[in-house]
Amino acid sequence: MDKPTPKSANLFQANRDRAAPLLKKLRADGIGHMIDGKIVPSISGETFETKSPVDGATLASVARGNAEDIDRAATAAALAFKSWRDMAPAMRRKLLHRVADAIEDNADDIAVLECIDTGQAYRFMAKAAIRAAENFRFFADRCAEARDGLNTPSDEHWNVSTRVPIGPVGVITPWNTPFMLSTWKIAPALAAGCTVVHKPAEWSPVTADLLAKLAKQAGVPDGVLNTVHGYGEEAGKALTEHPAIKAIGFVGESATGSAIMKQGAPTLKRVHFELGGKNPVIVFDDADLDRALDAVVFMIYSLNGERCTSSSRLLIQASSAEKFIEKLTARVKALKVGHPLDPATEIGPLIHERHLAKVCSYFDVARQEGAVVAVGGKAHDGPGGGHYVQPTLVTGATAKMRVAQEEVFGPFLTVIPFREETDAIEIANDVRYGLTGYVWTNDMGRALRVADALEAGMIWLNSENVRHLPTPFGGMKASGIGRDGGDYSFDFYMETKHVSLARGTHKIQKLGI
C-alpha cells in the first residue's frame, strides 16, 4: 500500500475528527422513527443495534418497527396526502429546494456517517450528498410539469390527459449507497405530490434518519415524509401490505422483489423494482484498451463492488485477452484496501459479516468450478479488524459457471474470453439479469449492433456508468420492472387521467323511445 501523502493524512484525520462527535451523539440519542413529524420509539419498545463494518462497534440502538408502527406512519401519510397534493407546485418546489440546501449544508457530516455506517470509501461518499441534493433539485424544478399530459382531440371531443399523484407510497431501500439511493426514490415521489413512508435497510439506518430530520428542518410538513426503521420481514412486509399505501418503489435483491409482489397482491400494489445485476463489460480488440481498462477496474472495484450496475463479468476478445489480463492483474493487485475515512482508500470493509461470508464463499465456488483465482481470494486484515476482503480477479471462467451467473455484490470480477461478436452477445445475454451492459469498440456499427442485441435496460458504449437524471434507469429480466429518471419517475408515482369534453354536436343514441 502507498504511504499516505501529508494531504491525505490530514484529510483522514479531519474526517475522523468530524465523525467522532457525530458518533458520540448517535450512540447517546439512538435512532427513532420519524412519524408525522415526530421522532418516536417503536410502539413495542423494541430496538436493534446497528454496527460499524469497520470495527464492529455499535453505532446506535435503532427502533425496530413492526406492523403497528407502519400503520401509524401510513395513517400519517394518508392524512397529510390531500394538503401536500393540493399545495401549489411552486411552494412544493421551494420546499424541495430547501431540502437540497439542507443536504448540501450537511454534506460533510453525511459523507463521514455514510462511510462509517456502510464501509464505503470516502473518495466515493464525499460527493454522495451532493448527488442526493441534485436529485432533489432536479425533481423540485419539475413539480409543475409533473401534472402535464397530452391533448389528443378527436372529431367530436376535446381530449386531454393529466396526471395526479397516486397517493401515499412506500419506498424500500437497500444498504449500498443508501443516502443517495433513497433520495433518488423519495425526491420524485414528493415532487409528484405523493406522501412517503420510507423503510431503509436495517444494515444502514444512519443517514436515512438524518434525511428525515433534514426534511423536517427544511419545512416539509409533518406526515409528508415518514421513516420507519426495522427488518424487511417485519416493517418492510407490513408496508407492502398496508391498504393505505398505493405503490411501492423498491430497490434490492431480485428474490425480495418477488416476495414484495406476492405480499402486495391482495391490495393490488403498483410496484417499481430496481433489482440485482450480473452486468457484462464487452471489450473488443479494436477498442481504446487503456480507457477500457480504466472503466473495467472502476466499474467493479469502486463502491466495494456493492453496486447494482457493476460490470462484474469482463468479456474480453481472445486476441487481446493475455495482454489485457496482465495489465488488469497489476491494477487489481495495486488497489488500496483500507479505512473508509481515509481518502487514499479505494476499497473499504463490506457492509456486514454475513455479506463478507457470502462474498468469500465465491472464492471456493470459483476454485471448485475450475476457474483461477488470479488475484485476491481471501478476507483482508484491515484497520479496525472489520469486514475487509481482498479485491479479487477470477480468470479462466466459462459462461455457465456460478461465478459467471450469480451476483456476488463485492469487489469480485469474473473474466470470460470470447472469439466473435456473436459469441460475446450470446454470453452476455446468458444470465437471468438484464440491468446494464458496457461495450468497448471503435467500430461504431458494431457498437450499435451489440447495443441493440444486449438484453439490458441500460447500455453504455465506450463509457463507464454515468448517470444523467432525465434518462431512464432500470433493468430487464430479473433486474427490475419499470424505470426511474425524469418523466419516467412521474409515470410511476402518478395516475394518468383522461378527460374528454364533448363539443356538443355528436349524435347520442336514443334508447327507450
* Packing angle, helices 107-118 and 206-217, rounded to 10: 160
Distance CA 113, CA 93 (A): 28
Q: How far is the CA of 496 from the CAs of 148, 343, 421, 493, in angstroms? A: 10, 47, 42, 10
254-283: contacts with ligand NAD (CB under 6 A)? 256, 259-260, 263, 274-277
Contact between 212 and ligand NAD per CB under 6 A: no
Among the listed residues 53, 188, 236, 434, the single contact to ligand NAD using CB under 6 A: 236
Quote the least distance from Cβ 148 to ligand NAD, whole Å.
26
Contact between 17 and ligand NAD per CB under 6 A: no
Quote the least distance from Cβ 429 to ligand NAD, whole Å.
18
Among the options 234, 241, 274, 464, which is catalytic? 274
Listed ranges 60-68, 248-256, 392-400, 492-500: which one lies at the site for ligand NAD (CB under 6 A): 248-256
Beta-carbon count within 10 A of 248 CB: 25
Each residue 159-188 as x (binds ligand NAD by CB under 6 A) or -, in order, gives -------------xxxxx----x-------
* Residues comprising the chain, all counted: 513
Closest CB to ligand NAD: residue number: 232
Among the listed residues 33, 185, 198, 199, the single contact to ligand NAD using CB under 6 A: 199
Quote the least distance from Cβ 207 to ligand NAD, whole Å.
13
Q: Which C-beta is closer to ligand NAD: that of 165 or that of 257?
A: 257
Quote the least distance from Cβ 476 to ligand NAD, whole Å.
11
Query: For residues 439-473, b (16+ Cβ closer than 10 Å) or e, as one string?
Result: bbbeeeebbebbeebbbbbbbbebebbeeebeeeb
Contact between 201 and ligand NAD per CB under 6 A: yes
Distance CA 106, CA 87 (A): 27
Contact between 202 and ligand NAD per CB under 6 A: yes
Please give the sequence-ordered ranges of beta strands (E in DSSP) within 95-168, or none if there are none.
Answer: 157-165
Each residue 402-441 as x (binds ligand NAD by CB under 6 A) or -, in order, gives -----x-x-------------------------x------
Distance CA 278, CA 403 (A): 10
Cell numbers representing residue 300 in the block = 467493479
Query: For residues 352-365, b (16+ Cβ closer than 10 Å) or e, as one string?
Result: beebbeebbebbee
Distance CA 40, CA 314 (A): 48
Q: What are phi and psi of 41, to 5 degrees?
A: -80, 175
Q: Which C-beta is closer to ligand NAD: that of 226 or that of 479?
A: 479
Spatial CB neighbours of 105, under 8 Å, sequence gap ≥ 6: none
Quote the least distance from Cβ 251 to ligand NAD, whole Å.
5
Each residue 354-393 as x (binds ligand NAD by CB under 6 A) or -, in order, gives ----------------------------------------
Contact between 480 and ligand NAD per CB under 6 A: yes
**Is 143 annotated in the active site?**
no
Cell numbers representing residue 59 in the block = 453505532
Distance CA 24, CA 22 (A): 5
Distance CA 322, CA 417 (A): 10
Q: How far is the CA of 187 from the CAs of 34, 136, 469, in angstroms? A: 17, 5, 12
Characterize the bridge pairing of strands 372-375 and 392-395.
antiparallel
Cell numbers representing residue 309 in the block = 450496475
Give the interface size with ligand NAD as a residue count (CB under 6 A): 33
Beta-carbon count within 10 A of 101 CB: 15
Decide if 210 contacts 31 (C-beta within 8 A): no
**Is 464 annotated in the active site?**
no
Q: Which C-beta is closer to ligand NAD: that of 345 or that of 479?
A: 479
Q: Which C-beta is closer to ligand NAD: that of 195 or that of 263?
A: 263
Q: Which C-beta is closer to ligand NAD: that of 218 or that of 308?
A: 308
Each residue 300-339 as x (binds ligand NAD by CB under 6 A) or -, in order, gives --------x-------------------------------
Among the options 115, 194, 308, 360, which is catalytic? 308
* Packing angle, helices 178-192 and 107-118, rounded to 10: 120
Q: Which C-beta is closer to ligand NAD: that of 72 or that of 237?
A: 237
Decide if 328 contacts 366 (C-beta within 8 A): no
213-232: contacts with ligand NAD (CB under 6 A)? 231-232
Contact between 485 and ligand NAD per CB under 6 A: no
The secondary structure of residue 252, as a DSSP letter, is S
Quote the least distance from Cβ 353 to ligand NAD, whole Å.
14
Among the listed residues 165, 252, 340, 391, the single contact to ligand NAD using CB under 6 A: 252
Spatial CB neighbours of 334, under 8 Å, sequence gap ≥ 6: none
Contact between 205 and ligand NAD per CB under 6 A: no
* Virtual torsion, Cα 284, 423, 312, 331, nearest 10 deg: -40
Quote the least distance from Cβ 227 to ligand NAD, whole Å.
12
CA of residue 335 relative to chain centroid, distance? 24
Quote the least distance from Cβ 201 to ligand NAD, whole Å.
4
Residue reference for cell 479485491: 391
Quote the least distance from Cβ 236 to ligand NAD, whole Å.
2
Catalytic residue set: 274, 308
Q: Which chain residues interact with ligand NAD by CB under 6 A?
A: 172-176, 181, 199, 201-202, 231-233, 236-237, 240, 251-253, 256, 259-260, 263, 274-277, 308, 407, 409, 435, 475, 479-480
